[in-house]
Amino acid sequence: MRNRVLIAAAFLLLGCCAPACRKSPPPSTSAEMPPGLPSASPEVTNEIDGRIHAEWDAITRKDKQALGALLEDNYIAVEADREGERFKWKVLSELDRSSVTQTTLSFLKVTPLGPDAVFARYEVFMRFPPGSTQPYLKVMVGEIWTRDGGQWKSLHYQETPVK
């Protein structure tokens, strides 16, 4: 009798757990796929796009004042050169040594993080002067931009080299 009760309890337990363990079939069409992260509004995307272009223009012109105006006071960057994090003051102090002569930006995607914060992801193709050991570099960039007093400023910057 005891064995029958144990067997019945085991079947009951397995019967309850089986639906939770069963994998659901993948959606058959892309229309059934769950939506991804929402994109920022076209107005915010255009505003961030303009700020990013201004940021890279300031870098190629070595304009510390223009670049500094685009960065939050507590800005932190991690660049692809493996030298670790850089705070705003370090980024600005190194600007004179920058050898970037031209940039091409592409594949911008802006994702809202809140009413005054967005995550921007994009690709940068950087060119360096003729005769440089590295004539070009392509990186994927992730940046967090925050709106401070109505102006968008970069808070965090991370770049990863790509082929």
Q: Are residues 154 and 82 in the same domain?
A: yes
Q: Are residues 152 and 76 in the same domain?
A: yes
* 149 domain residue, yes or no: yes
* 12 domain residue, yes or no: yes
Q: Are residues 99 and 123 in the same domain?
A: yes
Q: Output the CA–CA distances (angstroms, integers) from residue 34 to 28, 29, 113, 115, 116, in the order listed.
A: 12, 11, 19, 23, 26
The CATH number given to whatever domain includes residue 104 is 3.10.450.50
* 95 domain residue, yes or no: yes
* 154 domain residue, yes or no: yes
Q: Model confidence over 118-161: pLDDT tens digits?
A: 999 999 999 998 888 888 899 999 999 999 888 999 999 999 99
Q: Are residues 88 and 148 in the same domain?
A: yes
Q: Are residues 19 and 51 in the same domain?
A: no
pTM: 0.74
* 37 domain residue, yes or no: no
Q: Number of folded domains in the chain?
A: 2
Q: Which domain covers residue 142, as residue numbers?
A: 42-161
Q: Model confidence over 86-122: pLDDT tens digits?
A: 999 999 999 998 888 898 999 999 999 999 999 999 9
Q: Model confidence over 41-69: pLDDT tens digits?
A: 889 999 999 999 999 999 999 999 999 99
Q: Are residues 19 and 71 in the same domain?
A: no
Q: Are residues 16 and 88 in the same domain?
A: no
Whole-number average pLDDT of the chain: 81
Q: Model confidence over 5-23: pLDDT tens digits?
A: 434 444 444 444 444 444 4
Q: Are residues 21 and 61 in the same domain?
A: no
